[in-house]
A and B are shown apart, each in its own frame.
Chain A
Amino acid sequence: MLESEVHDLSDDADYAASQQQGSASMMLRSDSTKNSPREGAEIVFMKENVAIHPTQFASERISGRLKLIKQSSSLFMTWIPYKGHSSEARLSDDERNLYTIKAVSFTEIRSIRRHTPALAWPYIIVVLSSGLAYPPLYFYSGGVKEFLATIKQHVLLVRSEEDANVFLVNDFQNTLQRTLSSLELPRAVPIACGPSNLSVDESVLNENQGRADNDVNNGSFSATQFPGRPSHKVDPARDLSIHVLEKFSLVTKFARETTSQLFGENHSNGFSERRTHIRNNLDHPRKSSHAEEKTSDESCVALDSQEFENLSLVWGKPRQPPLGSSEWIIFLDSEGRVTDSEALRKRVFYGGLDHDLRNEVWGLLLGYYPYESTYAEREFQKSVKKSEYENIKNQWQSISSAQAKRFTKFRERKGLIEKDVVRTDRSIPFYEGDDNPNVNILRDILLTYSFYNFDLGYCQGMSDLLSPILFVMDDESEAFWCFVALMERLGPNFNRDQNGMHSQLFALSKLVELLDSPLHNYFKQRDCLNYFFCFRWILIQFKREFEYEKTMRLWEVLWTHYPSEHLHLYLCVAILNRYRGKIIREEMDFDTLLKFINELSGHIDLDASLRDAEALCICAGENGAACIPPGTPPSLPLDDGSFYALQDENLWAALKRTSRHSPYPSQNTLLGFTPDPEPVSPVAFLASSLQSAVGASRSAVGDAPAFSLFQARGRLA
């Protein structure tokens, strides 16, 4: 599996081939441009209202016209945003140019992924042979099928065997072609707009003006037309695409950073070369395209790294409004069964639930009620479970005060719970004020739970998890059973040996390494790889990080386990990535970082972060899943019995034992660098074996993890 992926990762031979073809076709095109912009160019497909979503709001989409243009024997795709559509995002010309897809040749395109969600607009993602991708193009007036059919008439288009929604372009399956070193790839990626290149930019701009005139005169624009310059084969379409990508994608940021890491400053020569923008806009008369090209350059110069950081990912799908009751009904048959739980989960994932529906749907999402249960069956279960709850509750209620005197563990547990419930969400009206009965219910449920699962008992953080559930269910027994269902998955977070937390923190470190290597390297350098600063995020599912309503929204989204059980870990990566620039720029050490993360509470943009998380999750694909040890919460535990084995009495002793070695697998162990002579914990063991697996798959890609992502995205997006 991993092996084959390694091959896939370096199959950029297409790229090498396409480069030649690409520049050849550009030449052709330029020649015809010289004679007449339209000569020989035939529009074979045109679709209006194809939009991209630069922000999370569909209302801020940028609509434009998608065309397939046949010229000579080559097929090109263009997407040009409309001018002056006031109802949509107000675009400056600069921005418009940045988003514009100007004549990308199909020799440049590796695959097209089709998405036809049931409840949203269909869209496609065009993946270039470099592994980069354009932002999703949403077909507001339909036509995806027609689009693909047209392409098929002109280029070799085959459906991927692995995924029926992926269409491979010009995939000749020639393994020989796939042997090009992956290092060829970064060089092909222009390092656009980095601040260090600004000075270069300026001179290049001036140069470009002269040259542009020249271009117009001789109608050629290939870099090879300028003898005496170091020749990096530069494909204009690629260069243009990078502008779009720079604007849009985190993955491209990886590419840029990897590129600069790999090639350092000395690559700026090649960079200036690339800045020779080409007038290849088939949609516009020559002169205006010249003018536009210039603004495009300027806009590019104007972008600095700061600005990039503020741009969010756009290929997570736009969030939808919450699911409301009228739409909810559609998911149910006449007797109340959820007919398509997958569709429901997906819908909730993208929009959450109207508050009024939570009471009905949370029990299903949490697995307390089966999706296939009817209204009547749920009512029945409710009453059965109610008496079951009362039975368990009675176990501790019947402990007399005399008995309690000789029952230290009970007293302590009760005391701990009582101390915590009075410190839980007391500013929420539901729990506000002295002698609030809901606070007592909170206590009763937690105490009952500590008898239901006596081994796990009560642990701080549980009251945070229960609070919104009780608020939503507004019924003691129902809240209890929903909490039980949640704890089936999150229980290991509270294990005495903290293994649930450790495996999640470990997985997080691997995910950051995979998805954001600059940040990983920074943390490594700063000795922050234990990720303890994310402890609170993970332990209580971001409960302290968002206001109450947002927490409930997040939880129902996470509980869908769509597209991954571990989306919360990708959410961590997404949030960290959002602040990566600040973290590194301000050279935060462990203390400052912890403080910074703690103080992010209340300032995290949930919807945007969720979209980023989704995008990252999809980007990471199987490589991401491989970072997460089996049984990592909220996956169901692999082996029930062992989790709560350590008893209270042994705790201090055990702690001393472990801490004498290491209370947590040392970073070296964690990363699998040093063989550990001590007996290692299961987590550490898992960690090192996982490391070798991941390491094996990555070493073949050299230092370019970004491209493994592209590949994953190309196939799995």
Chain B
Amino acid sequence: MPSRRRTLLKVIILGDSGVGKTSLMNQYVNKKFSNQYKATIGADFLTKEVQFEDRLFTLQIWDTAGQERFQSLGVAFYRGADCCVLVYDVNSMKSFDNLNNWREEFLIQASPSDPENFPFVVIGNKIDIDGGNSRVVSEKKARAWCASKGNIPYFETSAKEGINVEEAFQCIAKNALKSGEEEELYLPDTIDVGNSSQPRATGCEC
């Protein structure tokens, strides 16, 4: 136990307003869903302890406002991120189309050292609505986009029903860890992430 080091992993959740960023974060951290979350103003974050191998990490998950108008605030929050989660609503084409903007915006504002290899994870949320009947973005289309952007891991979730949320965040945490490890080369005893339990989710190549 005492040998375990704590490390902070910073994760940013981005996506259009109302796609379910706050709901996803709360479902993952607090295991609950509420219809009464308010629209996010400014930014907030929740933390969660995660364990890989014999190491404990603090996952710091940043939830920002989705409305474009507030994006000039981003720079204050994006800096130092280890992973960026792009969320869209499978029932809204616009929210999917905007993923590209969110991604580029993030890369500009966070200016990570290696933008080509910065870890993103894409989440298509609200798959529960209408039993999937009102969905307008197909999984195929989403995966194609993810593949075109350097094989971004992709998850389909329901924050409401708690479907696939845990899996998505495990992948997010691992990717964050991986990017953190790459930067912290001075840490010799890096753990072998590849060997830890694989999430059931599709598409996570970590």
Q: Which residues of A contact B (CB under 8 A)?
A: 412, 415-416, 419-420, 422-424, 426-427, 459-461, 463-464, 494-498, 530, 532-533, 535-536, 539-540, 544, 590-591, 594-595, 598, 651-652, 655-656, 658-660, 662-664
Scan B74-92; emit 1 where CB is below 8 A from any A CB, else 0: 1111000000000000001
Who on chain B is nearest to A494 by CB?
B69
Chain A hits for B9, CB < 8 A: none
Q: Is the CB of A591 within 8 A of B45?
A: yes
* With contact pairs A422-B35, A423-B39, A535-B41 given, residues A663 and B101 touching in the complex (Cβ less than 8 Å): no
Give the residue among A424, A651, A652 with the most B Cβ atoms within 10 A: A652
Please give the distance in Å from A2's CB to the nearest CB on chain B: 32
Please give the distance in Å from A435's CB to the nearest CB on chain B: 13
Q: Is the CB of B41 within 8 A of A655?
A: no
Chain A hits for B41, CB < 8 A: 460-461, 464, 535-536, 539-540, 544
Contacting residue for A423 out of B36, B44, B109, CB 8 A: B36
Chain A hits for B26, CB < 8 A: none
Q: Which of B16-37 contact A (CB under 8 A)?
A: 17-18, 35-37
Q: Is the CB of A655 within 8 A of B72?
A: yes
Who on chain A is nearest to B75 by CB?
A663
Alpha-carbon gap, A637 to B192, bound state (A): 58
B67 contacts A by Cβ under 8 Å: yes
Please give the distance in Å from A69's CB to the nearest CB on chain B: 57
Contacting residue for B60 out of A412, A460, A591, A660, CB 8 A: A591
Please give the distance in Å from A502's CB to the nearest CB on chain B: 8
Q: Is the CB of A416 within 8 A of B42?
A: no
B129 contacts A by Cβ under 8 Å: no
Chain A hits for B71, CB < 8 A: 655, 663
* With contact pairs A652-B68, A655-B72, A656-B108 given, residues A595 and B44 touching in the complex (Cβ less than 8 Å): yes
Alpha-carbon gap, A448 to B56, bound state (A): 52
3 closest Cβ contacts across the A-B interface? A419-B18, A535-B42, A663-B72
Alpha-carbon gap, A646 to B182, bound state (A): 41
Who on chain B is nearest to A654 by CB?
B72
B166 contacts A by Cβ under 8 Å: no
Contacting residue for B45 out of A464, A595, A662, CB 8 A: A595
Secondary structure call for the A interface: helix
Q: Is the CB of B67 within 8 A of A459?
A: yes
Contacting residue for A532 out of B35, B45, B66, B73, CB 8 A: B73
* With contact pairs A460-B65, A530-B76, A535-B73 given, residues A659 and B42 touching in the complex (Cβ less than 8 Å): no
Alpha-carbon gap, A651 to B69, bound state (A): 8
B181 contacts A by Cβ under 8 Å: no
Contacting residue for B109 out of A427, A530, A659, CB 8 A: A659
- How many chain-B residues does the 8 Å CB contact rule pick out? 34
B50 contacts A by Cβ under 8 Å: no
B104 contacts A by Cβ under 8 Å: yes
B38 contacts A by Cβ under 8 Å: yes
Give the residue among B39, B43, B60, B104 with the most A Cβ atoms within 10 A: B39
Q: Is the CB of A658 within 8 A of B72?
A: yes
Chain B hits for A598, CB < 8 A: 42, 44
Q: Is the CB of B105 within 8 A of A655?
A: yes
5 A-B residue pairings within 8 Å (CB atoms): A427-B36, A530-B76, A532-B77, A594-B42, A652-B101
Who on chain A is nearest to B40 by CB?
A460
Give the residue among B18, B35, B69 with the most A Cβ atoms within 10 A: B69
Q: Is the CB of B69 within 8 A of A498?
A: yes
B94 contacts A by Cβ under 8 Å: yes
* With contact pairs A498-B70, A535-B73 given, residues A660 and B108 touching in the complex (Cβ less than 8 Å): yes
Q: Is the CB of A659 within 8 A of B105?
A: yes
Who on chain A is nearest to B111 by CB?
A659
Chain A hits for B35, CB < 8 A: 422, 426
Alpha-carbon gap, A496 to B69, bound state (A): 5
Q: Is the CB of B69 within 8 A of A459?
A: yes
Chain A hits for B17, CB < 8 A: 416, 419-420, 460
New A-B contacts (6) at CB < 8 Å, excluding given A423-B38, A535-B42, A595-B45: A420-B39, A459-B69, A497-B72, A659-B105, A663-B72, A664-B76
Chain A hits for B108, CB < 8 A: 656, 659-660
Chain A hits for B105, CB < 8 A: 652, 655-656, 659
Chain B hits for A422, CB < 8 A: 35
Please give the distance in Å from B30's CB to the nearest CB on chain A: 15
Please give the distance in Å from B44's CB to the nearest CB on chain A: 5
Alpha-carbon gap, A426 to B60, bound state (A): 28
Chain B hits for A535, CB < 8 A: 41-42, 73
* With contact pairs A416-B18, A423-B39, A652-B105 given, residues A498 and B45 touching in the complex (Cβ less than 8 Å): no
Please give the distance in Å from A542's CB to the nearest CB on chain B: 11
Alpha-carbon gap, A659 to B42, bound state (A): 18
Chain B hits for A594, CB < 8 A: 42-45
Alpha-carbon gap, A658 to B70, bound state (A): 13
Alpha-carbon gap, A247 to B68, bound state (A): 47
Q: Is the CB of A664 within 8 A of B44?
A: no
Alpha-carbon gap, A97 to B109, bound state (A): 57
Q: Is the CB of A412 within 8 A of B94?
A: yes
Alpha-carbon gap, A259 to B73, bound state (A): 37
Q: Is the CB of A426 within 8 A of B45?
A: no
Who on chain B is nearest to A646 by CB?
B69
Q: Is the CB of B38 within 8 A of A532?
A: no
Please give the distance in Å from A539's CB to the nearest CB on chain B: 6
Alpha-carbon gap, A463 to B38, bound state (A): 10
Please give the distance in Å from B200's CB to the nearest CB on chain A: 31
Q: Is the CB of A656 within 8 A of B104?
A: yes
Q: Is the CB of A664 within 8 A of B75?
A: yes
* With contact pairs A460-B17, A591-B60, A663-B109 given, residues A532 and B72 touching in the complex (Cβ less than 8 Å): no
Chain B hits for A652, CB < 8 A: 68, 101, 105
Q: Is the CB of A423 within 8 A of B101?
A: no
Who on chain B is nearest to A530 by CB?
B76
Give the residue among B70, B72, B105 with the most A Cβ atoms within 10 A: B72
Q: Is the CB of A663 within 8 A of B74?
A: yes
Please give the distance in Å from B198's CB to the nearest CB on chain A: 31
Alpha-carbon gap, A703 to B163, bound state (A): 59
Please give the distance in Å from A537's CB to the nearest CB on chain B: 9
Q: Is the CB of B72 within 8 A of A498?
A: yes
Chain B hits for A460, CB < 8 A: 17, 39-41, 65-67, 69-70
Chain B hits for A494, CB < 8 A: 69
Who on chain A is nearest to B108 by CB?
A659
Alpha-carbon gap, A127 to B109, bound state (A): 51
Chain B hits for A463, CB < 8 A: 39
Who on chain B is nearest to A408 by CB?
B94
Alpha-carbon gap, A422 to B18, bound state (A): 11
Please give the distance in Å from B48's CB to the nearest CB on chain A: 14
Chain A hits for B38, CB < 8 A: 423-424, 464, 544
Alpha-carbon gap, A651 to B67, bound state (A): 12
Alpha-carbon gap, A460 to B44, bound state (A): 16
Who on chain B is nearest to A412 by CB?
B94
Chain A hits for B43, CB < 8 A: 532, 594
Chain A hits for B67, CB < 8 A: 416, 459-460
Q: Is the CB of A426 within 8 A of B36?
A: yes
Q: Is the CB of A536 within 8 A of B45?
A: no
Alpha-carbon gap, A540 to B17, bound state (A): 17
Alpha-carbon gap, A14 to B101, bound state (A): 65
Alpha-carbon gap, A595 to B37, bound state (A): 17
